[in-house]
Structure 1
Amino acid sequence: MPPISLSSPTRRELLAATAAAGAIGMLGTRSAAAKGDGFNPFSVSFPEEQLVDLRRRVAATRWPDQETVADDTQGVRLSTIQKLAKHWATDYDWQKMQVRLSALPQFITEIDGLDIHFIHVRSKHQNALPVIITHGWPGSIIEQLKIIEPLTDPTAHGGSEADAFDVVIPSLPGYGFSGKPTAPGWNPVRIARAWVTLMQRLGYTKFVAQGGDWGNAVTELMALQEPPGLLAIHTNMAATVPADIAKALASGGPPPASLSPDEKRAWDQLADFYKNGLGYAIEMNNRPQTLYGIVDSPVGLAAWMLDHDIRSYQMIARVFDDKPEGLTKDDILDNVTLYWLTNTAISSARLYWDNAHFPTGGFFDPRGIKIPVAVSAFPDEIYAAPKSWAEQAYPKLIHYNKLDKGGHFAAWEQPAAFTAELRTAFRSVRQ
């Protein structure tokens, strides 16, 4: 059955009218979300004095001593963060991103008592497939901006009309322009329910979902809930680690001798991440409110966000050594600046605490999803899920591809490859 887009003329007219209404909401002086099932248009605007204060704080950073090793084992290197700070204070221009964001149709709606912000771009093609795409931490809606046009206007980007998507990109609760929860409990299960409500409220009766990082957890939990109309999901950070592998990793023992080369590489990636890369998650799981320093210091915030996983960090370090690959200096600072201006360093971190106190299972544990699933395995992800593990985790695996390039922020780093993956992944569910 072909996907059904917004079919009600009154709803279509409402969304067209709100998209044209312009800027009535802005952070700091944002209007309240529409009550009930309504939408308020939203645009991005920050006072110049906030940007002046940001540059002042960056310039006034109190620097620590240099690391005592000649590698990355002690964390973000002083030379890297000082290069970032210099660019931030002298060359970076947030207004370019603000203009880019303001050109997109954005809305606020209230779901389960919380303001939810989302981008909603409809394709000009009549039978476009609706997709809701969810970011993670330390990401934001900025991760997905490069894929909006190729997905919604495929004929202008190497595709055919049959590849068209309507794209919905929400900000997670506590992130970006969404509301900040004032009580605990906004874990991935609750967010997944909210996303289903959002798609239904937009009038979509058939849709697909995509996510990586927290976005994967939310998307897989949407699939577990099996809401009417969710046809399939796609993940670029699949949860596929078999129970015996997870147990062996937790014990710190050697890898099983029976692992294939792809499985052994995934083991090595996971073992390294669990040993050296989980510091940020442990703190945010246990004590997110303690992170006052990253609310007060923009450079502290940037360093905290850069030190997510070693391959992403090393790629970003190369960017600030003037060796860009996928991301530019401004790309990186667009995302950090959004966290700074929205003051969401701690409110975003609380998602880890909520997940720990209202648990939804291990981050990489298979969840028993019954609906169709597509997997794209990028080599520099926290771990590249082997096809053998994906086949075990997802009985209805409709697509698997191991890519040659790309890491944790796949849509942001490799938008052309990511777009191609989504087109291929969901082709079979359009019939």
Structure 2
Amino acid sequence: MDITTDIRPFRIDIPQADIDDLHARLTRARWADDLPGAGWERGVPASYLKQLADYWATSYDWRKHETELNSHPQFVTTIDGEDIHFLHVRSRVENATPLLLVHGWPGSVVEFLDLIGPLTDPVAHGGDEADAFHLVIPSHPGHGFSGPISHTGWTDARTAAAFAVLMERLGYDRYAAQGGDVGAFILPALGRLAPDKMIGIHLNAHVTFPTGDPADMAALTEAERVRLAVFKDFQDDKSGYMQVQGTRPLTVSYGLTDSPIAQLAWITEKFKDWTDPAAELPDDAVDRNRLLTNISIYWFTGTALSSANSYYERFHDAAAWAPKERSTVPTAVAVFTTDVAIRRFAEKTDTIVRWTEFDRGGHFAAMEAPDLLLADLRAFIRSLT
């Protein structure tokens, strides 16, 4: 079979030497001290990060979580010159709806682990057999076990095209899709590329941009104005990581690739900034072991650069920011506590048929509030099929 189109079984097996090396690096870390009186507003406090690093080095069991990941069928296939890793978990319900799940940054396939059982076997989780899905959960090019990449130019549109090929290669002619963060950029691009293939698109952590129309701005509700203020605060005070990754990904990657403390802080900061503000600490919002499994994947695969490079491509892709025709694919948006999506802006570019706002859960909804995301996704797909 042609190696460019075959689908090869894949199993995660991190060498023990790499695990030992991680532990050694964590235990001999050189630490910066906290500034007197400084809190999370200046970055990750050393007092917290030291505790998390100690747990990673002495209590976290990578092999246990590697085994959990390997309990799901995984594969690799070559698309557009890169190996694309993905989980392919079929439901026992033969006519289940194919569903593409697309993670964000700094996420991975780990984001969806708690949803695999309820989505593929709803009856066993208190649901209805009609809500069963066949799941395809890829790692983005350059992320996790789809990386590092060997070519530049992996824009969101190119990634969307690769995922379209993946679904076709798996024999899925019609499918639904769910994603957040970067996934909420990729999936609308996929919908415009292959609208005839898409049953519907469900988004969370969606970013909408003001239209500039004075009438739109005047019509904003108070809740929407608050959301717009959150978006401005992100741009003014919380987007440093994005500016660095979008302009100089190579420079920052040296520290992230050499130091697990740097990689830990770089990602943990996002889990503090973007999770439900009701959670005092990142691992109050997301299970500590899930958080560290996600970060461990970035560390063991050495994908700090290639994942950061996706921001460089996004920043420098003129087509990504050019005006687009309104997508015809039915689209649902789930808005969690830290999300900034505004419906009147979203409707300019997408066919919004469902809009749900929640008072718990944040940016990493599949990890923070899987029950809410699951119910909303099921209701949306049920309305279309």
Same fold, judged at TM 0.5 (above): yes
Contact 1:380 1:405 in 2 (8 A): no
How far off its partner does 1:389 sit? 3.7
Q: Aligned pair 1:108/2:81, yes or no? A: no
CA pair 180-34 structure 1, distance change in 2 beyond 3 A = farther
SS of the aligned residue for 2:262 comes to: helix
- Rounded to whole Å, the distance in 2 between the matches of 1:40 and 1:179 is 16
1:146-225 matched pairs, under 5 angstroms = 146-225=114-193
Residues 186-335 of structure 1 aligned to structure 2 (within 5 Å): 186-244=154-212, 258-291=219-252, 292-308=254-270, 310-312=273-275, 318-319=281-282, 324-325=284-285, 327-335=286-294
Q: Given residue 176 of structure 2, which amino acid in structure 1 is its aligned partner?
A: V
For 2:275, the aligned partner's letter is S
Q: Distance in 1 between matches of 2:384 and 2:219?
A: 35
Structure 1: distance between partners of 2:186 and 2:278? 26
Counterpart code for 1:275? D
Q: Distance in 2 between matches of 1:336 and 1:256?
A: 39
Q: Which residue of 2 aligns with 1:27?
A: none
User: Following superposition of structure 1 onto structure 2, how do residues 394-405 of structure 1 map, counting pairs within 5 Å?
Assistant: 394=350, 396-405=351-360
Structure 2 partner of 1:356: 315
Per-residue CA deviations over 1:304-351 (Å, capped at 9, x if unaligned) read: 11222624396776255xxx34x2211111111111111111111111
The answer to whether 1:75 aligns with 2:75 is: no
User: 1:221 and 1:339 mapped to 2: Cα distance?
Assistant: 25
Rounded to whole Å, the distance in 2 between the matches of 1:92 and 1:34 is 40
Please give the alpha-carbon distance, in whole angstroms, between the structure 2 residues aligned to 1:424 and 1:378. Answer: 17
Correspondent of 1:416 among 367, 371, 378: 371
Q: 1:376 touches 1:403 (CA, 8 Å); kept in 2?
A: yes
Contact 1:147–1:415 (CA under 8 A) maintained in structure 2? yes
State the shift of 1:386 in Å.
3.5
Identity of aligned residues (%): 38
Residue 329 of structure 2: aligned partner: 371
In the other structure, the counterpart of 1:63 is 31
Does residue 407 of the first structure (1) align with residue 368 of the second (2)? no
Q: Which amino acid aligns with 1:159?
A: G
**Counterpart-to-counterpart distance in 2, 1:214 and 1:359:** 17
Matched residue type, 2:304: A
Report the equivalent of 2:106: 138
**CA offset at residue 161 of structure 1?**
0.8
Matching residue's letter, 1:397: I
Task: Say yes or no: does 1:426 pair with 2:381.
Answer: yes
* Aligned residues of 2:338 and 2:363 also touching (Cα < 8 A): yes
Cα distance in 1 between the residues matched to 2:357 and 2:311: 29
SS at match of 2:208: coil
Q: Is the 8 A contact 1:306 1:313 kept in 2?
A: no
Q: How many residues align?
A: 382
SS in 2 for 1:117: strand
For structure 1, which runs of at least 5 residues remain unmatched after alignment? 1-32, 248-254
* TM-score normalized with structure 1 length: 0.84
Where 1:240 maps in the other structure, the secondary structure is: coil
In the TM superposition, what is the alpha-carbon distance from 1:38 to its structure 2 partner? Answer: 1.4
- In structure 2, the partner of 1:21 is none
Q: Secondary structure at the match of 2:93?
A: coil
1:269-322 Cα distance to aligned partner (Å, 9 max, x none): 1011001111001001111010211111101101011222624396776255xx
2:276–2:337 contact (8 Å) kept in structure 1: no
Letter in 2 for 1:45: D
Distance 1:43 1:188 in 2: 27
How far does residue 68 in structure 1 lie from its aligned partner after superposition?
3.6
Distance 1:366 1:307 in 2: 33
1:121 aligns with 2:77: no
Q: 1:344 to 1:204 in 2, by over 3 A?
A: same
SS in 1 for 2:212: helix
1:30 alignment counterpart: none
Asked whether the equivalents of residues 106 and 120 of structure 1 are also in contact (C-alpha less than 8 Å), the reply is yes
Which residue identity is paired with 1:304? W
Tell me the secondary structure at the aligned position of residue 145 of structure 2. coil
RMSD value, Cα:
2.3
Q: 1:172 is paired with a residue of what secondary structure?
A: coil
SS in 2 for 1:66: coil
SS state of the match for residue 281, structure 2?
Answer: helix
Report SS of the residue matched to 1:425: helix
**Larger CA deviation: 232-241 vs 274-283:** 232-241
Determine the structure 1 residue equivalent to 2:60: 92
> Matches of 1:147 and 1:116 in 2, distance apart?
21
> Could you tell me which amino acid in structure 1 is paired with residue 263 of structure 2?
L
Q: SS in structure 1 opposite 2:176?
A: strand
Are 2:342 and 1:386 equivalent residues in the alignment? yes
The change in CA–CA distance for 1:217 and 1:167 in structure 2 (over 3 A counts) is: same
- Correspondence for 1:23: none
Answer yes or no: is the 8 Å Cα contact 2:276–2:363 preserved in 1.
Answer: no
Give the AA of the match of 1:413.
E
Cα distance change of structure 1 residues 92 and 156 upon mapping to structure 2, 3 Å threshold: same
The answer to whether the 8 Å contact 2:276/2:361 transfers is no
Query: Is the 8 Å Cα contact of residues 34 and 108 (structure 1) preserved in structure 2?
Result: no
SS in 1 for 2:47: helix
* CA gap 1:313/1:149 in 2 versus in 1, 3 angstroms: closer
Q: How far apart in 2 are the matches of 1:156 and 1:288?
A: 44
- Offset of residue 367 of structure 1: 6.5
